[in-house]
Structure 1
Amino acid sequence: MNVLDHPVASSGWPAQPFGAVKTRGTSPNWGSAVIAQTSLARVDLLRRLIVPAGDDEVVISHISRGRAGHGPTESQARKAGYAVCVHLDDLASYDLWSDERHCASPPLPSGTIHISDMRHIWQADIQSSFQVANFYLPQSALDEVIDEQGSRGTAALHCPIVEKRSDSVVTNLAMALLPALMHPEQASKIFLDHAWRALTAHLLKAYGSPDARPQIARGGLAPWQERRAKEMLLADLNGNLTLPDLAQACRLSCSHFSQAFRRTVGCPPHQWLLSQRVERSKELMLNSDQPLSEIALDAGFADQSHFTRVFSRIVKTSPAAWKRAQER
């Protein structure tokens, strides 16, 4: 996992995206997989996570400009993959071109999503302010999910900008990932694995070709699989394990393992891991004199603020308040 966080523009960095993202490459400009490129000097905020996905990378970004007048963008190189754009604010005025042909460019309300095939060349003239969350999904990531689900056919997505589609699943996932983009040190590998795989499975089901839509796996984990997965998660509370690690240990595909774990345990692996970190922190608060900052690290949290935020959300009170209540 890698991250760039640039809340303040700086013209000394390579071009960055509007409507999609960039992945690392061998060219001086890092290679391109964007709908339309812009420089950091022309946006107010750019945050980016790069997540390994097989032999390629999924890239997640958050980009915004709070004023009008961005203007024309540069084109990008063709790449085998798809750019999924989620508009978090209204986009009132722009013009879009695909392979040098002007496309319908309707105003887009907040919550609109669209998907662009990056085998085409995209350019835009952005006249109004914008705020977007973007996912770049390489073709290999889609193919991997299709293979794991036992489906046949070519993984392809179709959701053009002119349809102005609203998708609460994609929008809510984008919003859930904004804290990870702001604090990447608090995002575990298993959470990011789950996020891009869940997104890909949903997109294939909702916007994929019929012969390539993933099948729904049935049934939960066998007792030995549940035991093995939980043992592995507890042995690494820091969350350095990935879904492929757990799935391989249970002799399942990643997609099957994720669905089976949720059916058996009642929540995804990363959520179960968070609950176990909280339980570990309670044990340490009751049985040691360690300060909360040390307890946070020993329980697998990135730091005390991460610990306090997660503990308060799950327990409905702060760690300090919980500890005082136990001492009465």
Structure 2
Amino acid sequence: MQNPLPASTKTESATGSTAVPVQTKVDGFGCQLAKLDDDTRFVSGDISFHRKRSADPYFGQVATEASDRGFLIGLSLKGRHRRRIFHSSNRSSLHDFEENSIYVRNFADDYKADLDGQFGFALMEISGAGLEEMAGGADLPAISELCGETAHRDAMLGGMLNAIFSVADSNNASNSLVVDQLAAAIGVHVMHAYGKASGAHETTKRRRLSTLEENRSKELLASRVSGVIALDELAEACGLSRVAFIRAFRETTGFTPHEWLTRQRIDLACSLLRASKLPLAAIAATSGLGDLSHFTRAFMKATGAAPGAWRRSRQS
């Protein structure tokens, strides 16, 4: 969560005189912290993800001053939310947000809006440098800004954001590659859907890893079979952006990095089930497949049998 910024509101007494200002803490998006029922944040690559929810039907006003923070994409996680956005020259516009409705705004502009109705929003903050990095990795023209949108429906982005928050909410360290891969896919979608090209497209196509890069990637993944590895570490080892690395790894091996690592973890779990008497929970932890519930789901998906049943059939 970003450091709250102090804001003050003046109250009027019965006689009309101005009372002492009341300090109200707000976040980096101008939301009153005391009125938020959910304030989740995590970072993956060039995107800072936030989830903000409030059951207060009279949330009030949000406002931010112009800055060089980059761009904000907000997606409504539920319908029946309305906001009046104030523009220059004393103009304003009223917008109704249904589920999966988005807005895109530039932090370089002042922003002020009145929020009406309960809301839940997933937010993505991306810097200008982050836009250029993601565009380059996705083999797109140079992109330095996003097109402004308000209350535009984007069901695909909604599905991806629900997925990434679901994985992040599980607090399962073994899912870090899943979060990174979803974040990369979200970045590519945002670039394609809302990116504004700022120059000629100089392609840097390289679709496959070299043998050295493939071996290096697999060695890194295998060395963390029981632990955690970040997508950025794998990409950096091959001198690629995270998006370009995922594409090249999949083209070379037929799997995403997470899929390949999961196969290694399942193979390790099978070896431990067959040759040891370790409890299932210990095997789950040793093979990097999280808690027993997650281990069971992943194992059944890969083998068609529950771990205990698979072990009994191999040891009998």
Short-chain TM bin: 0.7 to 0.9
- Do the aligned residues in 2 keep the contact of 1:149 with 1:215 (CA within 8 Å)? no
3-state SS, counterpart of residue 134 of structure 1: strand
Partners of 2:269 and 2:312 in 1: CA distance: 14
Alignment partner of 1:43 out of 21, 36, 43: 36
Alignment partner of 2:261 out of 269, 273, 285: 273
Pick the structure with greater CA Rg: 2
Q: Which amino acid aligns with 2:36?
A: V
3-state SS, counterpart of residue 258 of structure 2: helix
- Do the aligned residues in 2 keep the contact of 1:243 with 1:254 (CA within 8 Å)? yes
Aligned to 2:9: none
Task: With the length of structure 2 as denominator, give the TM-score of the two structures.
Answer: 0.79
3-state SS, counterpart of residue 165 of structure 2: helix
Select between 201-210 and 188-197 the one with higher mean Cα deviation: 188-197
Partners of 1:254 and 1:166 in 2: CA distance: 24
RMSD: 3.2
3-state SS, counterpart of residue 184 of structure 1: coil
Partners of 2:195 and 2:202 in 1: CA distance: 9
- Do the aligned residues in 2 keep the contact of 1:186 with 1:301 (CA within 8 Å)? no
Q: Which amino acid aligns with 1:271?
A: E
Aligned to 1:234: 222
- Do the aligned residues in 2 keep the contact of 1:48 with 1:59 (CA within 8 Å)? yes
Q: Which amino acid aligns with 2:72?
A: A
Aligned to 1:19: none
Q: 1:117 to 1:317 in 2, by over 3 A?
A: farther
- Do the aligned residues in 2 keep the contact of 1:145 with 1:214 (CA within 8 Å)? no
- The 5 A counterparts of 1:153-302 are 153-162=142-151, 164-168=152-156, 170-186=157-173, 188-211=175-198, 217=205, 219-238=207-226, 240-302=228-290
Partners of 1:279 and 1:85 in 2: CA distance: 41
- Do the aligned residues in 1 keep the contact of 2:147 with 2:195 (CA within 8 Å)? yes
Select between 317-326 and 106-115 the one with higher mean Cα deviation: 317-326
Shift of 1:73: 2.9
Q: 1:159 to 1:77 in 2, by over 3 A?
A: closer
- The 5 A counterparts of 1:63-82 are 63-66=52-55, 68-75=57-64, 78-82=67-71
Q: 1:214 to 1:278 in 2, by over 3 A?
A: farther
Partners of 2:182 and 2:155 in 1: CA distance: 16
- Give deviations 1:64-94, integer Å, cap 9, x for gaps: 2345222223435623211111212113322
- Do the aligned residues in 1 keep the contact of 2:136 with 2:142 (CA within 8 Å)? no
- Do the aligned residues in 2 keep the contact of 1:99 with 1:122 (CA within 8 Å)? no
Task: With the length of structure 1 as denominator, give the TM-score of the two structures.
Answer: 0.77
Task: Give the structure with the larger strand fraction.
Answer: 2
Partners of 1:256 and 1:229 in 2: CA distance: 14
- Do the aligned residues in 2 keep the contact of 1:88 with 1:133 (CA within 8 Å)? yes
User: Which runs of 5 or more residues in structure 1 are unaligned?
Assistant: 5-12, 16-28
Shift of 1:97: 2.9
- Do the aligned residues in 1 keep the contact of 2:177 with 2:229 (CA within 8 Å)? yes
Shift of 1:111: 1.6
Q: 1:271 to 1:90 in 2, by over 3 A?
A: same
Shift of 1:253: 3.8
Partners of 2:167 and 2:249 in 1: CA distance: 23
User: Which runs of 5 or more residues in structure 2 are unaligned?
Assistant: 6-24
Shift of 1:310: 3.1
Aligned to 2:84: 95
3-state SS, counterpart of residue 31 of structure 2: strand
Aligned to 1:115: 104
Partners of 1:76 and 1:141 in 2: CA distance: 21
